[in-house]
Amino acid sequence: MKRIITAIMVCIFAFAAQAQRVEASHIFNGKSMRHQESSCTEGNSLKPYKLTLFSTATTSDRRHFKYIEEVIESNEDKAIDKECGYINGKLYYGFYQFKPDKDGKYRYIFYRNSSLREDEPCEITIVYMEGYPTLTELKKMFQK
C-alpha cells in the first residue's frame, strides 16, 4: 500500500511542479503507474471517443486526500472551462478542460472525492484525458 501511495504522490508532485503550464499528463507520465489502482489506455480502443490517452488513479488512503485536493484546486485558474461541486466546503468533484496543445488536443482532468458522501466508497479518483473531443462531446459520451 505504501508503494501505491508513494507512486501517486510522486506523480501528483510532478503535476504540481508544472503549475505555470498545466500538464496533467505528469500525474501519470503517459504510462500506467503499474499497480492495481491505476491504469492507462492509449491507441485504437480510444478512437471512437476521439481520445488519444485515458489514465486513471484511485487512492483510499485518507492521509493524502487534502494534499491531492489542494493540487487539483491550484490548477483551476488555468482551466478554460470547469464544473465543480462541493460538499461542506470541500471539493467533491471537478471537471476541468485546458487549452488545446500545439496539435489541437484538449486536456481534461476529472477529480472525485467519494469519501465526502456516506453512501460511497472512501476514495479519491483522478482521471486524465487527452484528445480531440470538445467538452460538450465528452459530456454526451459520459451520459450514455
pLDDT of residue 34: 36
* CA–CA dist 75, 18 (Å, integer): 10
Residue with cell 456516506: 118
Q: What's the average model confidence in pLDDT over 38-47?
A: 69
If one compares 4 and 31, the residue with the highest pLDDT of the two is: 4
Mean pLDDT across the chain: 75
Band of pLDDT at residue 80, cut at 50, 70 and 90 = very high
pTM of the model: 0.72
The yes-or-no verdict on residue 4 having pLDDT over 60 is no
The upper half-sphere exposure of residue 116, i.e. CA atoms within 13 Å in the direction of its Cβ, equals 17
Band of pLDDT at residue 60, cut at 50, 70 and 90 = confident
Least confident of 39-48, 75-84, 93-102, 121-130: 39-48
Band of pLDDT at residue 75, cut at 50, 70 and 90 = confident
If one compares 23 and 45, the residue with the highest pLDDT of the two is: 45
Q: What's the average model confidence in pLDDT over 96-100?
A: 90
